[in-house]
Structure 1
Amino acid sequence: MPEAGAKTQRSPSMADVARAAGVSGQTVSRVATGRGVVKAETRQRIIATMQELGYRPNGAARALRDGRYRSIGVIMSSLSSHGNMRTIDAIASECAAGGYSLNLIPLGAATQASVSGAFARLNEEAVDGVIIVIEAHSLAEAEVELPTGLPVVVIDSDRKGRYPVVDTDQAQGAKLATEHLLDLGHETVWHVAGPPESYSAHGRRQSWERTLIERGARVPEVITGDWSADSGHRAGLILAARDDVTAVFAANDQMSLGLLRAFHERGLRVPDDVSVVGFDDMAESANFWPALTTVRQHFDQVGVEAMRALIAAMEHRQTAPADLVPTELIVRGSSGPPPHRR
């Protein structure tokens, strides 16, 4: 530990460089920012002095030089979900490849105050643009007004407005899952939905219901979970007590895992007695027993497309108002034809 009364060593300033090099602060500023004319001999002396003192031009100086901070802000409602972690990983990889740093601000509830506060923090950190990942109706229904002054791209929202939106095609994925089970011969498909405040859960539920109606199938009562395997297990116990359930579409793979456990505990064989289809294709889904039929989301592509849209916005190029990344159905062992009538 430093001795009591010892002074903390400060970083060298532009004024220190100017004194040591025998030039004005304005001349040092021209060299640091790359703006203005400085004699080659003087420039070299200033650069040598910077290196000797350990001086580094700050982010603001670099921005004055090239018009960019080379930094991206990300505001994210949750770091706990599988999809959000995959998406932020892809965004981080794209930032690294493009020479950008990443400043992540996780939120709790998506409120006007929390989003505005996050924007204020990012403005202080000097970022070039912001990607928002808030999976909530509060953003989709425009209850949260985004501050102006920075290029913005929104992920996982149906928000209408001036900002580009990138998202998985939720409706297509739920349609693929529901049609797969109907095509196998099931009379209808039950649904374990995600939480009502979730935009993606809402989109999947709407598409499931719309697909059943289009195919002339009965629309069963929805059971609502919270994305967790435990909530899927509770839903599975309810469904296992009925004798008319032969096919279930769960809004994510974690809840599907809970369904498989509940059906096993109640002596139901999957898929002989009841079929299960999930949504996400998380890495473990192929190792469920049986291996889970599910809808694959390309979270990495969502992150890539979000970065591309943000860079286009920062460069004032034309961007699409919305970009939906397609899903695909991955058929494995948890889905099959309905059981014969007893």
Structure 2
Amino acid sequence: MTSARPRRGPGMTEVARAAGVSQKTVSRVVNGEPHVGPEVRERVLRVVRDLGYRPNTAARALLLGRYRRIGVVAPGSALHGPASLLLGLEQAVRRAGYACALATAPAGRGVTAAVESLLEQGVDGVVLAEPIHDGRPLRLPGHLPVVSLGAPVATAGGRGVVVPSGGVAAARTATAHLLSLGHRTVRHVPGPQHWFSARERLRGWREALAAAGATEPPLPAEGDWTPASGYAAGRELARLPDVTAVFAAGDDMAIGVLRAFAEAGRTVPQDVSVVGCDDVPAAAHLSPPLTTLRQDLAAVAGHAVAVLTAVVEGRPLPPEPLGPAVELRVRGSTAPPSLTH
């Protein structure tokens, strides 16, 4: 007994026949090319949906020299910020009419290998999301368009583009908020400095202090984004009576800072004000609720994908967003310094 052969899906010929157009017109519509009237385009798309037509990706890649697929290299982290950014990138890629391929490079190791794995799958360009630097230079193909969020990237052909991720602006805003309340200076609990987002927040903190003419105090040991590392830094800071304001590079670390000050008998915000970054879901429900920075990661992701697809398709780069996608969420963890300091 012979097994039944799987039924082949509808092809471009069937779509063209049902829509009453040529195969060339169907190809133009499917590939998003111009020179097709809106009525004809809508009719073809309606037939594509009704028949369940799926373009042959391999054949289209051979024909056009493009795969209609964007690769994303991510750290593979479950942290709120990276996970939200990855979701935004995936949605932006699909809105742009591309498929999304993911490769992870935990702790920044193997970024080059991750890019090579994406090239084996067939991608038109790559986004480096939440870049992490492990000290080794990236070796990326010169022909490959690459967009990096915040971190400089070099390719042999000069096709690397850096898109600001908003970390510097977020740190400036957080630090300026605390200074505007009357605090003489602001302590910073830094994130791991092999993460470029942590470097950006450290830089923004320093720039805000310098702009205000405030003293830059020494840093505690850098954290690793976890509440435990924030708690360790908070215990160090809680021993210093002149500390009145703290900006933590991430909300989870800020939660650890809050715990350390509570154990030391330092009340927030009466004795010490604390600001975090990322606006994790728990931030508004702490005691006191945490003042923090919310970055519009969907907007950051959308701009990164728009830049990359413009490079891939040979179009002019889109303009930079009008303002930083950062919003200060003022809650109960910040207040003017007490008169006793």
Give the TM-score, by structure 2 length: 0.77
Secondary structure of 1:122 counterpart: helix
Cα distance between partner residues in 1 of 2:164 and 2:280? 17
- Is the CA contact (8 Å cut-off) linking 1:164 and 1:319 kept in structure 2? no
Could you give the per-residue CA deviations for residues 249-270 of structure 1, whole angstroms, max 9, x where no partner exists? 1111111111111112222211
Partner of 2:212: 215
Pair 1:180–1:330, CA change in 2 (3 A): same
1:54-107 deviations in whole A, cap 9, x for unaligned?
x98742113235554222211112332322111111121123333322110001
Q: 1:249 to 1:134 in 2, by over 3 A?
A: closer
2:162 match:
165
The CA distance in 2 between the partners of 1:231 and 1:116, in whole Å, is: 30
Q: 2:35: which partner in 1? A: none
Q: Which has the higher contact order (CA 8 A, sep 6+)?
A: 1
Superposition deviation, residue 293 in structure 1: 0.9
* Distance of 1:8 and 1:71 partners within structure 2: 34
For residues 234-249 of structure 1, the aligned pairs below 5 Å read 234-249=232-247
1:341 is matched with 340
Identity %: 42
Partner of 1:61: 59
Matches within 5 A, 1:95-110: 95-110=93-108
Query: Quick one: which of 277, 280, 289 aligns to 2:278?
Result: 280
Q: Partner amino acid for 1:312?
A: A
Aligned-partner SS, 1:279: coil
Match of 1:47 in 2: none
Aligned to 1:123: 119
Q: Quote the Cα distance in structure 2 between the aligned partners of 1:119 and 1:201.
A: 23
Is 2:146 the counterpart of 1:152? yes
Is this contact kept in 2: 1:71–1:101, CA < 8 A? yes
Query: 2:143–2:159: 8 Å Cα contact kept in structure 1?
Result: no
In structure 1, what is the equivalent of residue 20 of structure 2?
none
**How has the CA–CA distance of structure 1 residues 200 and 322 changed in structure 2, closer, same or farther, with 3 Å as cutoff?**
farther
In 1, are the aligned partners of 2:251 and 2:280 still within 8 Å (CA)? yes
How far apart, in 2, do the equivalents of 1:159 and 1:185 lie? 40
User: What value does the CA root-mean-square deviation take over the aligned residues?
Assistant: 3.1
Q: How many residues matched?
A: 298
After superposition, the Cα gap between the structure-2 partners of 1:57 and 1:251, relative to the gap in structure 1 and judged at 3 Å, is closer
User: Residue in 2 aligned with 1:80?
Assistant: 78
Match of 1:313 in 2: 311
Deviation of residue 247 (structure 1)?
0.6
Q: Contact (CA 8 Å) 1:168, 1:298: kept in 2 or not?
A: no
Secondary structure of 2:67's match? coil
Indicate how the Cα distance of structure 1 residues 292 and 56 shifts in structure 2: closer, same or farther if over 3 A, else same: closer
Confirm or deny: 8 A CA contact 1:74 1:105 kept in the other structure. Answer: yes
SS in 1 for 2:277: strand
The verdict on how the C-alpha distance between 1:34 and 1:166 changes in structure 2, with shifts beyond 3 A counting, is: closer
* Cα displacement string for residues 264-303 of structure 1 (whole angstroms, at most 9, x for unaligned residues): 2222211011100111122221112111111221111111
Distance across 1 between alignment mates of 2:2 and 2:104 = 36
Distance 1:315 1:335 in 2: 47
Q: Is the Cα contact below 8 Å between 1:194 and 1:226 reproduced in 2?
A: yes
